[in-house]
Structure 1
C-alpha cells in the first residue's frame, strides 16, 4: 500500500480510546476522542497555502488530511478541541518521505515510512523525538501507539484503539 492509499483509508469519523503511561512518574491516564478525518488531494488549497508558507515545493505534495479532534481525559471536566493539517510530501523510491503537521501558526516536520502496512511517523522535538505507529486490524478498526523520547530515554508511551463510526451494517 502506498502513502496516498493509506491516507485515503484514514478518512472518516473515528472513536478513539487511549491509555497514556508516564514512564518516569509511573502513572497512567485514560481518555477518549472523537476524530473527523478528511482526506485532502494534492491540489487542496489549504495544503498549498501551508506548504508555501513553510517553503516546501508544491509539486512535492502527495496528499493530506484535515483532522478535527474533540478529546476528553478521564477525571477532567474540560474537553480539548483542535484541528490540524497533515501534509504528505512525495516519498522517495525507498517509500520514505516528509510529513508536515500544522496546527494554527505552528508546524512540525517529521519523516514517515510504510513497512508491512504499518505507518511509522518520527517527529523530532526540542528535546528528543516522538515515534508514532498506526496500522489496521480491519477496515474499521485501527491501532496506534506512540512513544515520546527525551534524549534516548522513553518518557511517555500511549496506545489507542480506534473504531470507525457510522459504518452501515452488512446486509443479511
Structure 2
C-alpha cells in the first residue's frame, strides 16, 4: 500500500480525523514519575468558519480569515465508554504561503495549559515538526504516518537546564462502529 503523506496542516488534520488507540512511553530525566500508558485520542476536523476556530483566532489576536480550519483533540482512558468531556484542545492552522509551514494556534498547550502559538513545518517525506515556546520551557513534537491507519509521535520538553522528558507514542486508528457493522454484514453475506 502506497502512503501519500499530508504536506499541509489541514490535510494532516483530515488524515488524523477519528479515534486513535495510543500507547505511550514517557521518560522523565528529573523524576521517577511515569506517565506511560494507553489512551484514546479523538480528533475532529473543524472548518474555518466554525465558531470555536473563530474564537481561538479572536482570543489570540489573529485575523480569522487567515485560518484554513482547525481540529479538536480530546483524550480519554482507553476502556472508558463514556463520551469524552468538553475539554478538547482546539488547534487552528494559520499557514504561510507555501502551506507546508506556518503557525498552529491553540486554546491550550500540551505542556502548560495556556493559549500558545507554535511553529510547524512539513518535511518532503511528510514528517511534521511542531516547535512551541512556553513561559518556562520549550516543546518539540514530531509526527508521521507509517500507513493511513498507523502513525508515530515523538516529543521532548526542554527546560532552561536541559531536556526534562521524552515521549514516544504509537497510534493505531480505531475502527468506527459503522465500519465494524459493515464488515460484519459483509462476512455474514459470504456464508
> CA 1:71/1:108 → structure 2, altered by over 3 Å: closer, same or farther?
farther
Give 1:3's aligned residue. 9
Note the residue ranges of structure 1 that are not aligned, 5 or more in a row: 73-79
What is aligned with 1:93?
98
CA distance in structure 1 between the partners assigned to 2:89 and 2:129 by the alignment: 18
Q: Does 1:107 align with 2:112?
A: no
The question of 1:15 aligning with 2:21 is answered yes
C-alpha distance in structure 1 between counterparts of 2:167 and 2:74, whole Å? 20
Measure how far apart 1:129 and its partner are.
0.5
- Give the Å deviation of 1:26: 6.1
Deviation at 1:41, TM superposition (A): 1.6
Task: State the distance in 2 between where 1:111 and 1:83 align.
Answer: 20
Deviates more, 1:16-25 or 1:63-72: 63-72
Query: Do structure 1's residue 33 and structure 2's residue 36 form an aligned pair?
Result: no
- Give the whole-Å Cα distance in 1 for the aligned partners of 2:56 and 2:142: 24
Q: Which has the higher strand share?
A: 1
Aligned residues: 165
Q: Which has the higher helix share?
A: 2
CA apart distance, 1:163:
0.7
Question: Given the two structures, how large is their TM-score scaled by the length of structure 2?
Answer: 0.77
* 2:164 corresponding residue in structure 1: 155
- Distance (Å, rounded) in 2 between the aligned partners of 1:63 and 1:87: 6
Contact 1:31–1:71 (CA under 8 A) maintained in structure 2: no
CA contact (8 A) 2:21 2:173 kept: yes
Question: Relative to structure 1, is the Cα distance of residues 60 and 94 closer, same or farther in structure 2, using a 3 angstrom cutoff?
Answer: closer
Q: Which residue of 2 aligns with 1:77?
A: none
Please give the alpha-carbon distance, in whole angstroms, between the structure 2 residues aligned to 1:126 and 1:71: 29
Change (3 A) 1:70 1:118: same
Residue pair 2:56, 2:105 contacting (<8 A) in 1 also: no
CA contact (8 A) 2:96 2:102 kept: yes
In terms of Rg, which structure is larger? 2
